[in-house]
Structure 1
Amino acid sequence: MTQRSLPLAGIRVLDLTRVLAGPWCTQNLADLGADVIKIEKPGSGDDTRSWGPPYLQDAEGNDTRDAAYYLCANRNKRSVAVDLATPEGARVLRELAAVSDVLVENFKVGGLAKYGLDYESLKAINPRLIYCSITGFGQSGPYASRPGYDFMIQGLGGLMSITGERDGMPGAGPQKAGVAVVDIVTGMYASVGILAALQERHQSGLGQRLDIALLDSVVAMLANQNMNFLTTGKAPGRSGNAHQNIVPYQVFAASDGHLIVAVGNDTQFRAYCVAMDAMHLSSDPRFQTNQSRTINRDVLVPQLAEIMAARPRDYWLERLEAVGVPCGPINTIEQVFADPHVQARGLRLDLPHAAAGTAPSVASPLRFSDTPVQYRAAPPVLGQHTDEVLQEVLGWGPEDVAGLTAGDAGGT
């Protein structure tokens, strides 16, 4: 049987992105087999290379030049150090764009036009090019020219209005998520869009431009909370660790810690009452359906909390798992990677790294039965593949490469 190729084998991606949303997108494509060429400014590279500490350490315990932040989103790529702000550097990128399938960039709106690297200019060179622009606010609208960062768009886009403890409780107030979720989700939307554009190109033979915005993405990801507002005209507020539409679906304090109980239907609620030896609650008309429990949550939840507080966390986890009620601990990240199921799924990786020997990474959640993700290398050091790419992809000779890296395009 002929061995099957990776899903995106043969696809070349020119990556002009930095920080997180764009690199997250292109790492997805790289994991799926695309040849991702990461273009970086000579001398400094991606902004996140210096976003530390912590930094990746070598075998002797010395810091390398790459922060842990950078490592999270640049696996399986090749780094080319070229300054696109110079005439020679811009020419190199136009040559690479001419032989690429996809270009992903996250510059300010119109920022690449002066270098001849905007969509219209590159479309004339390569009509099959799929050109994905990732910005804070998109290519149109009154905010288009504004810079956009995850934190401020979590606030502007409504996510922080529904995240955090509810008003009147200790610690109440809006709260950002513990990871840059808007960047991550935007990167995922960009990945999906690129894959769809590649599929459409099979029919038309033509590329197109994708306009992906952080604000659009965060508004879209509010999902049921959007619908709570759009169907009622009333904006939902913060609920802390409780669910707006399902009860009980929240954190409870046990006698020695906390756990999550996620009752998703009425059958599970009855099982929950069995585990708590509290069948009087499941027979109470006020609590028999999710609708009635949601309406009467202020009556029900204090009774549940009192029962849960009387026993240790692990007692409840064992009891609830035995009757099929979804539940779980609140782990630290250290505890996550020590969890036997996480270990069995192979989520921790160690990949070869040019400066440190190896670098830790986290496996892609994409699991294919016949064309699994391949982890070829850790995120590259700055300019690691400049000579290799220019010779292999553009057919330059060693003298041409030497002239570039010594000249106004900037080098490694």
Structure 2
Amino acid sequence: MPTQPPNSQTPQPLSGVRVLDFTRVLAGPYCTAMMADLGADVIKVEAAHGDDYRHIGPFKDGESLLFQAINRGKRSIALDLKSPDAIATVKALLADCDVLIENFRPGVMEKLGLSYNALAKDFPHLVYVSLSGFGQTGPNTKKPAYDIIVQAMSGLMDATGEPDGAPTMVGEALGDVAGGLFAAWGTMVALFDCSRTGLGRHVDVALFDGLVSMMPILACRTLMGGETPVRTGNRHPLSAPFGTYPAADGHFALAVLNDRLFATFCDVIGQPELVQDARFTSDPLRRENEPALAEYIDQWASSLPVDQVVHHLSAAGIPASSIQTVAQAWASPQAVERGLASTVTHPDLGVLNVPEQPVHFNGAGRGGRKPAPALNADAGDILNLLNKEQCA
């Protein structure tokens, strides 16, 4: 089903919100891309050489596709923030901005004269979002952080991988994405509060904080259970059978989380007597005796192709799936129907499929967006608009 562009008669949820975006690389641009998807006017402020992601592949005809993916729908202006004239331009723009978001190291905006405290008096309505590796306080506040560093320090890497293997990175920059999500969430909360009070506030977001907070199961076991979680590979640490198992031509994922589903599962694999087996009468016991349970699963699934395994389990109402590639996931009927990607027309690259924020809002269409901007492409329009507003 093709995505439908936004109805011109129905404003997008963030129409009228203007964001001055000082972010670069991934976490901050991910946040502001989601806002642009929903109608916010995002003015991306870049240095003369542009966002670092303009120079990171993969490339097509000299353009970074990574930059295109997470800077869709924004406008670009290049400013030398060491110049007093550029700072004056920033302050003039802020008069008509609702949000400033930056992901410099703590202290950089203060040196530029653009800290929250420096701006709050003149722009009391401003929602000021600072996104950094470790936040504005704490012993690590000055440390540089990339996603791999945050994954390593958060405990996620130590909890990921085979029990007898090395700590393993998650296959996506999840620390950056978590930071971007929490920055967007914090921005929305502060905007909502401003709509009631007329006052903005400083929102302090850290990649480390975000990723640690994205692990509630590990937090529960550590903070309240007193455990030190260990790697369990592709098996759930608390429940069974809950993980990936081999079939004749590949692997499948299976999730059995309660006694009712377990009884149904035992019927499907032709082992109804397992329900009464003392090793498997509760979820904790099933997890404790998972290796023995896995033998029964292997006996059943080893002669069946993955598609048949998934068919039998799904027909019985048991959550199960084949292991899709990333390409298969994006091309799946579910992803297409939900409009997880839509097209933009780039002046040099032509039609591109780019991701779109995943939440559906009643009355707000999907698609109909603009591509990522060329460096400084919108400076004229932005400055002309600024001049008109100053003269009004």
Using the size of structure 1 for normalisation, the TM-score is 0.89
Q: Taking structure 1 as reference, are residues 109 and 176 closer, same or farther at Cα in structure 2, changes over 3 Å only? A: same
Between the aligned partners of 2:27 and 2:117, the Cα distance in structure 1 is 23
Please tell me the residue identity of whatever aligns with 2:52: D
Q: What is aligned with 1:50? A: 55
- Distance between the aligned counterparts of 1:157 and 1:182, measured in 2? 9
1:374, distance to aligned residue in structure 2 (A) = 4.9
- Counterpart Cα distance in 1 of 2:250 and 2:318: 19
Shift in Å at residue 184 of structure 1?
Answer: 0.6
Q: Is the 8 A contact 1:96 1:394 kept in 2?
A: no
Q: Alpha-carbon deviation of 1:36? A: 0.5
Shift of residue 87, structure 1, vs aligned partner: 2.0
Work out whether 1:140 is the aligned partner of 2:131.
no
**Match of 2:290?**
297
Q: Would the aligned equivalents of 1:276 and 1:307 in 2 still touch at CA under 8 Å?
A: yes
- 1:376 is aligned to 369
**Number of the residue aligned with 1:67:** 64
Task: Name the structure 1 match of 2:189.
Answer: 196
- CA deviations on 1:173-221 (whole Å, 9 max, x unpaired) are 1001111011111111111111111111122211110110011111111
Give the TM-score normalised by the residue count of structure 2: 0.93
In 1, distance between residues paired with 2:387 and 2:340?
36
* CA–CA distance in structure 1, aligned partners of residues 291 and 250 of structure 2: 22
Supply the distance in 1 between the matched residues of 2:276 and 2:172 (Cα, whole angstroms): 41
**Corresponding position: 1:236 with 2:240:** no
CA change 1:352–1:368 in 2 (3 A) is same
1:21 aligned to 2:14?
A: no
Q: Percent identity?
A: 37
Asked if the contact 1:354/1:381 (under 8 Å) is kept, the reply is no
User: Is the partner of 1:72 in helix, strand or coil?
Assistant: helix
Seen in structure 2, the aligned counterparts of structure 1 residues 254 and 326 have a Cα distance that, compared at 3 Å, is same
Unaligned 5+ segments in structure 2 are 1-7
Moved more, 110-119 or 335-344: 335-344
For residues 43-81 of structure 1, the C-alpha deviation after alignment (integer angstroms, 9 at most, x for no partner) is x211111111x213xxxxxx13x3122122111111112
Change (3 A) 1:373 1:350: closer
Q: 1:358 and 1:82, CA in 2 relative to 1: closer, same or farther beyond 3 A? A: farther
Find the partner of 2:178 among 173, 185, 188: 185
**Separation in structure 2 between the aligned mates of residue 39 and residue 138 of structure 1, nearest angstrom:** 22
- Bigger mean CA offset, 273-282 vs 297-306: 297-306
Q: Distance in 2 between matches of 1:74 and 1:298?
A: 47
Whether the 8 Å contact between 1:134 and 1:214 is mirrored in structure 2 is yes
Partner of 2:241: 248
**1:91 and 2:95 correspond:** no
Two-structure CA RMSD over aligned residues (Å): 1.7
Q: 2:142, 2:174 → 1: CA distance?
A: 22
Of 45, 61, 65, 1:39 maps to 45
**In structure 1, distance between residues paired with 2:368 and 2:178:** 22
Q: Per the alignment, in what secondary structure is the counterpart of residue 361 of structure 1?
A: strand
Deviations 1:263-287 (A, max 9, x none): 1222211221222112122231321
SS in 2 for 1:211: strand
Amino acid at match of 2:121: A
8 Å contact 1:165–1:238 — kept in the other structure? Answer: yes
Q: Distance in 2 between matches of 1:124 and 1:28?
A: 29
Per the alignment, residue 409 of structure 1 pairs with none
Deviations 1:235-281 (CA, angstroms, capped at 9, x unpaired): 10111111111111111110111110111222211221222112122
2 CA distance for matches of 1:194 and 1:51?
A: 28
SS in 2 for 1:160: coil
Tell me how far apart the structure 2 counterparts of residues 17 and 375 of structure 1 sit (CA, whole Å).
Answer: 24
Counterpart pick for 2:128 among 128, 131, 149: 131
Residue by residue over 1:325-368, the C-alpha shift from the partner in whole angstroms, topping out at 9 and shown as x without a partner, is: 11111111222233222223333322011322222202321111
> 2-side partners of 1:86 and 1:177: how far apart?
41
Residues 272-311 of structure 1 show CA distances to partners (whole Å, capped at 9, x for unaligned) of 1222112122231321321221222232223323322222
Matched, 1:286 2:279: yes
Give the number of equivalent residue pairs. Answer: 383
Work out whether residues 159 and 167 of structure 2, in 8 Å CA contact, stay in contact via their aligned partners in 1. Answer: yes
